[in-house]
Chains A and B, each alone.
Chain A
Amino acid sequence: MKQSITLEKVSKFMGFGFLTTLKDLFTGKLEKEDFVKFLRKVVVPLASILLFIGLWQLGSRALYEREANYKIQTALVDQGPEAAEAMRTCIASGDISCQPNTLPSPGQVWDSYQSLIRDHNIIRADKAAFIEKTAALNEKRIAAGKDPITYTGRPSFIDQIVMSLKTVFAGFLLALIIAIPIGIFIGLSPTLKSAFNWFIQIFKPVSPVVWYLLVFMIVKTILIDSTEDSSFIISFISVGFCSMWATLVNTAMGVASVDKDYINVAKVLKLGPMQKVFKVILPSSLPLIFTGLKITLSVAWMVLIAIELLAQSPGLGLFVWEEFQNGANDSNSKIIVAMFVIGIIGFLLDRIMLTIQNWVSFNKSDAI
């Protein structure tokens, strides 16, 4: 019996079950008894989103008022009633120079999002124009054996997202390359386990900031002759070191806890060590390894922001930090935009890992 792949199956597999319910609603396939399900899966989440935005609006309004009153009060005390009146009119007029600086409202955040996208489009056009303008010159330079001129303008918000994704994937790959082999060896040998255990237990809880400093100390010296910007290298290595522990521990646990029956089969068949590892132990510990990788990726994404901020490596972390330092009128709302973008990307990364995990694990119910 061949199983066909349908929208239902794919969305359910990826954990987007509510899409099916939505589709059923629009195609009129929804039965009466499904109404409760529809309520729970579509109406309740939508309502909670609206409630969240409403509370946010109210909260930001209250904070705005508090901040405005404080400004007026300060003007009154310091400079007298005229200055206070001037401040009141200035705030009411919406003049940028005197706006209270506090939690932005949902509307402001939305405006900032659109301005970031506009900004991205401008930078992209600028970059394209630059490339077009320098194309002829660059060809000559290359022919003459010189380096081509590259665009050095500031990165847009989207560019920074892409940079962050690159850093997180580099860090994730590093974590995978280090943690899985070591995890396998530790899981296989109780001796190695006791040799490495103190190391894992001590370094696992170390904060990303400290990892960054450690990596900085080492990489800075190693790359002392290089003129290249080492901030990317430092930040992805730090991300890798911070996030690899979950994979290391899960791999070791998965390998050590392979069903005794499988090990007995391998013994009776006298499988060689390589065959035992690749045909029996690894496949049976894949679900746990993937659980570890899933945690690793989400930890990597979480620590990335802090590390980029410290390392001054271009990306969302640096974006947030620069906006905070910048103190422009819309800086706060841009920070909130970045917060949502970080959250949504983190969620999508998690879904992607879950999908891969479901796909590779032999026992579908094992997926966590």
Chain B
Amino acid sequence: MTTNIIENTPKRVITQPEVFPSSEVMLDLKDLKKVYPTSKGDYVVLEDLNLQIKKEEFVTIIGHSGCGKTTMLSMIAGLNPISGGSISVLSKHIQGPGPDRGVIFQSPSLMPWMTALQNVLLGVDQVFPHATKAQRQDVAKYYLQKVGLEDAFHKKASDLSQGMQQRVGIARAFAIKPKVLLLDEPFGMLDSLTRGELQDILIEIWNKEKITAVMITHDVDEAIFLADRVVMMTSGPKAKIGDILNIDFERPRTRKSVLEHDDYYKYRKHLIDFLEH
């Protein structure tokens, strides 16, 4: 029995992740730390977190609830100040939020009083101020078409279903052409059918645009299907990178080819073992 458990338990030893040449790195987190002061002393959410994400890479982050995944992502987005270490995009330290890091939030976060098109334009107008109005409209419409909303340009966001709203959220994020795309459990609130549809849409656009993406998820299958690497985070407090799993499936992938691949269950088992121990 004992041997069996030992064999199945993933390595708990924290190995320093691989270091890539800086020309290949898009996003670099160094000794990242986040501390929340409380009345009973400091609460350390993250500590000594080191992670490099390469250009045109899709990384998913998986870990238990409350381990600090969302904290990490919002620090990368610049919405949450860092307590120590550094975050850099293309070797430049980030200063607050900016459109070089597009975010797809867990809730679609559309302005409900605007139409789908206006919501996308809100970002496009900001990022391409020198383009003509028609050009900006074209950009917004292009991405809305890409997410399958060509019939809903002028629908109020509040009249769209949750899934449709999140499609607008995807279009809005891609339309501003960010260097890094940050996704915070974007499909967490959707039913499983809609989730599958949106994963397909996301990966289809991503295959075209190849924007470096960091996505938090709770869903092991989603993590494997979308990612080049799955980053596993240890449970907090003082969460850090526990393990990294390379997913060597070819791109473009289809759900069927992934599910039928011999390695799929090996990857899945690895992730579940990590999460269960």
Binding site for B on A (CB under 8 A): 259, 261-262, 264-265, 267-271, 275, 279-280, 283-284, 286, 362-363
Contacts and interface: CB of A to CB of B under 8 A. Distances in A.
Interface stretch (B15-23, B100-108, B198-206): B100-108
Interface stretch (B25-33, B50-58, B109-117, B261-269): B109-117
Given A264-B103, A362-B156, A363-B158, A269 B126 contact: yes
B79 interface: yes
Interface of B: 77-79, 96-99, 101-103, 105, 107, 109, 111-114, 122-123, 126-127, 156, 158, 176
A285 to B, nearest CB: 11
A362 B111 CA distance: 9
A284 to B, nearest CB: 7
Given A261-B107, A362-B156, A268 B79 contact: yes
Contacts of B126: 269-271, 275
Contacts of A269: 99, 122-123, 126-127, 176
Contacts of B96: 267
Q: Which of B102, B126, B127, B176 has the most CB of A within 10 A?
A: B126
Contacts of B114: 283
A270 B98 CA distance: 6
A271 B97 CA distance: 11
Nearest to A280: B111
Interface majority SS (helix, strand, loop, mixed), chain A? helix
A268 B113 contact: no
B154 to A, nearest CB: 12
Contact of B103 (A268, A279, A284, A286): A268
B185 to A, nearest CB: 14
Contact of A264 (B79, B156, B158): B79
A270 B113 contact: no
B111 A264 contact: no
Given A269-B122, A269-B126, A363-B158, A262 B98 contact: no
A362 B118 CA distance: 14
B109 A261 contact: yes
A362 B112 contact: yes
Nearest to B96: A267
A137 to B, nearest CB: 57
A268 B101 contact: yes
A279 B111 contact: yes
A284 B176 CA distance: 23
B79 A362 contact: no
Contact of A284 (B99, B111, B123): B111
